[in-house]
Every structure is written in structure tokens, then in C-alpha cells.
Amino acid sequence: MASNHPTPDRRADVELRLPADGAYASVLRTTTAGLAARLDFPIDDIEDLRMAVGEATAMVLGDAVAGSDVVGRFYQRSGELTVSLTAQVSGPTKLDYDSFAWQVLTTLASEAAASSTDDELTISLTMVSSHQEPGR
């Protein structure tokens, strides 16, 4: 399976900065759905992506510094969409990989990863269209 994890040498195709407030989670989900539709993802994959981004957003917002922003970066390839969500945090964050949210995210996405520094938490997920996966 192709991988399109964000790298410093590649600029995001779309970048969206929003207040770190749950009221804006729908903007991230809607943007994700619109970009996936533009890449001709089937409706089931689009809905899975919306749910996965919702879970990733909730995890990032849970540790975000009040009054900060969430930055969503979207990387597109034919049949593949990677979404990276980054928020400012007040210290290293230990993600619970056994949590229900992480289990949902990793079940819905083709790939998922998380990284944390002293001041940022990033959760990235990649969805490969079911039209692109071998055997379909």
C-alpha cells in the first residue's frame, strides 16, 4: 500500500487553522469529506474518514492548550488522503493506544500515527480508497 505520511519537504495540499474548540470539529470533518469526494472515494470510505477525523480531532482537542489552534494538513494522492492534525500542548502527551478512540481510528483508517513533543501533539491518518486496495 502506498504511504503518504506528511514530511517536512512536502507542503500540504490544503492547510486549515481553527480554534482548538470542539465547535469547529465539524469543519475538519466536512473538509475531509469534500477532499475525499474530490478524489472519487466511495461514500462508505468518505464516511469512515469523517468518523476517523472526528476521533482524531477529539484526541487532539483533549490535550490542546486553551485558546490555541488546531492545524489540519491534508495531503492528496490519487486514491489516497492523509490528514494530519496538530495542536499546541503544555507538555509531552502520552497517547493511550488501548483507548476506544484510538481503536476506532486505527480500524477506520488504512494507517494511523501519533507523535508528541514538549509543545505539540500530532495525529495523522491515511485512508486509501477501497477502489485502490488490492483485491477489490
The model's pLDDT over 57-82, given as tens digits with 9 standing for 90+, comes to 999 999 999 999 999 999 999 999 99
pLDDT tens sequence across 94-133: 888 999 999 999 999 999 999 999 999 999 999 999 876 5
Average pLDDT over residues 52-61: 95
- The CATH code of domain 24-128 reads 3.30.565.10
75 contacts 8 by C-beta, under 8 angstroms: no
Nearest to 53 by CA among 123, 118, 1: 123
* Prediction pTM value: 0.88
Which SS3 state, helix, strand or coil, does residue 26 take? Answer: helix
DSSP state of 48: H
User: To the nearest whole percent, how much of the chain has pLDDT over 90?
Assistant: 81
Q: Is 63 helix (H, G, I), strand (E, B) or coil?
A: helix
Q: What is the rounded radius of gyration, in angstroms, for the C-alpha atoms of the chain?
A: 14
Domain boundaries, the chain: 24-128
Q: Cβ neighbours of residue 54 under 8 Å, at least 6 residues apart?
A: 25, 29
pLDDT higher than 60, residue 7 = no
- Average confidence (pLDDT) over 3-22: 78
Say what the pLDDT of residue 10 is.
Answer: 82
Q: Round to whole Å and give the CA distance between 4 and 26.
A: 24
Q: What are phi and psi of 64, to 5 degrees?
A: -70, 145
